[in-house]
């Protein structure tokens, strides 16, 4: 059986925290920022963790 490839996009976009959760960049910060409220732009700075179900999917992409 051939080796399974990991998703290279997932390797670039996600990292693991020490407790095993998946850390990612906040959404809605790339473009069209003029039409977004200042509070929304402040709230979406930095990083966040994925939900448990989404984190499970991303971990399967890495094929540990």
Quote the pLDDT of residue 64: 59
Quote the pLDDT of residue 18: 96
d(CA 55, CA 16): 9
Residue with tokens 């473009």: 31
List the strands of the sheet with 47-49, edge to edge.
Answer: 15-16, 22-25, 47-49
From first to last of its 64 residues, the chain has per-residue pLDDT tens of 888 889 999 999 999 999 999 999 999 999 999 999 999 999 999 999 999 999 999 999 987 5
Domains defined for the chain, CATH in brackets: 8-28+35-62 (4.10.410)
């Amino acid at each position: 059986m051939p080796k399974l490839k990991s998703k290279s996009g997932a390797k670039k976009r996600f990292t693991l925290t020490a407790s095993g959760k998946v850390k990612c960049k906040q959404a809605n910060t790339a473009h069209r920022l003029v039409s977004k409220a200042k509070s929304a732009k402040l709230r979406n700075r930095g990083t966040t963790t994925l939900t448990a179900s989404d984190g499970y999917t991303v971990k399967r992409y890495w094929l540990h």
